[in-house]
Amino acid sequence: MSDLVFGPVPSRRLGSSIGINNIPPKNCSYACVYCQLGKAIKMDVDRKSFYAPREVIDAVKERVRIAENNGDKIDYLTFVPDGEATLDIHLGEIIEGLKPLNQKLAIITNSSLIDRADVREELMQLDLVSLKVDAITESVWRKTDHPHRALDFNNILKGIELFAGQYLGKLITETMLIEGYNDQTSESHLLADFIGTINPHTAYISIPTRSPARKGVKPAAEETINRAYQIFSSKIRGVEYLVGHEGNAFAHTGDTRSDLLSITAVHPMRADSVKAFLEKDGEDWSLVQELIDDGALLETFYNGYHFYVRKLKQNNQF
C-alpha cells in the first residue's frame, strides 16, 4: 500500500480519519521542540511540487475503497503529512480531485503560510481546518515553534484572523503547552484573548503524549493545564483537553507490515495498540522485531510507555 495514505486511524480531533501524507518526511516551515516526528530535515516556506496530484488522489481513492469494503467508518479524509501540508503547491488541485468521493475533507496545519491568499483560498474548500496557535508573544513563538527565518509572526496572526472571518466550515485550534516554553499564565491570557476573537468551534489545549523532537521537553504540569483551561474557558465558547491516547481501533488492509509502516510514519503507535493490531491480523511480535532489525521501525520510550515510529530517511533530496 502507498505511503501517501494511511488509516482509517482514531483521531482525537476527527473521529475516524484517513490520513493523507502529501509531504515527504519533515519538510516543514517549523522545527517545533515537541514534534512527534523528530528533528526537521528540510525547512522551507516556498510552496512546491512533492508528488503528482493524480498519484495522491488515486492513493486516497484506493484507501477509501478498501475501508468501505471492510466496513470501516470514515469521518474525514485529512491532510496530516510528515511536514506542513500547505507547502504542497498542488493542495488545491488534490482537494478538488477528492470532492467526488463525497467524504468530508480536513487539514491539520501549523498556520505558517496562512498569510498567503492562495493558501487561504484552498483552505476555504475544506470541511474542517485545524490551526496551530502555540503563542501570541513572538519570542515565545520562536522559542517553542522554531519557525523558518523568513516567516513574519504578525502577518501569520493577521492571516488567521482574516481566514477565520471568512471561513464557513468547522474551525478548530490547537495549543500545545510545553513546560518552560509557552505555559506561562500571561501567555495563556494572550492566547485566550486572540483565540476568542476568531471564535473557533473548539479550542484544544494539548500536551505531547509521544516522544518529542528535543530531549528534555516535557508537557505542562497538570495544574498549569487546568489553569490554562480555566483562562481559555472564560473567553472561548468551546474548550477541550487533548491529552489522551487515541485507542486501538486501527484499520486493516490485510498487509500488516505495510499498514504498520504507513501508520507509524505519521502516527506513532503505543505498544498496546501495536499488539492489538497484530492480534487482529493473526501476527505476532516477531514482525515488529523484524521491522526494528531491518531499520524500518524505531522503539522509543516516553512518559512510561513504549512507542513505535517509522524511521525517517535522512538523505532525501528535493
Over residues 109-130, the pLDDT tens digits come to: 999 999 999 999 999 999 999 9
DSSP structure class, residue 297: E
Over residues 54-83, the pLDDT tens digits come to: 999 999 999 999 999 999 999 999 999 889
Contact predicate 125/163, CB 8 Å? no
**How far from the centroid of its chain's Cα atoms is residue 56's Cα?**
18
In angstroms, how far is the first alpha carbon of the chain from the final one?
23
Contact predicate 288/263, CB 8 Å? no
Q: Kindly report the three-state secondary structure assignment for every residue of 15-68.
A: EEEEEECCCCCCEECECCCCCCCCCCCEECCCCECCCCHHHHHHHHHHHHHHHH
More confident residue, 295 or 167: 167
| Sequence-ordered alpha helix ranges (H) in the chain | 53-70, 91-98, 117-123, 138-145, 153-166, 185-198, 222-233, 256-264, 271-280, 286-293
**How far from the centroid of its chain's Cα atoms is residue 285's Cα?**
27
Contact predicate 281/20, CB 8 Å? no
More confident residue, 25 or 133: 133
What does the alpha-carbon distance between residue 65 and residue 101 come to, in Å, rounded to a whole number? 10
Closest CA to 194 of 152, 150, 154: 154
Backbone angles phi, psi at 131, to 5 degrees: -105, 130
Contact predicate 191/133, CB 8 Å? yes
Over residues 233-282, the pLDDT tens digits come to: 899 998 888 765 455 556 667 789 888 887 775 556 889 989 998 998 89
Rounded to two decimals, what is the model's pTM?
A: 0.79
Over residues 30-57, the pLDDT tens digits come to: 999 998 776 666 899 999 999 999 999 9
What CATH number does domain 5-269 carry, 1.20.1250.20, 3.20.20.70, 3.10.290.10, 3.40.190.10? 3.20.20.70
Dihedral angle computed from the Cα positions of residues 41, 43, 48 and 49, in that order, rounded to the nearest 10 degrees: 10
More confident residue, 247 or 101: 101
25 Cβ contact list (under 8 Å, min separation 6): 37, 41, 82, 83, 265, 312, 313, 316
- Amino acid 124: pLDDT: 98
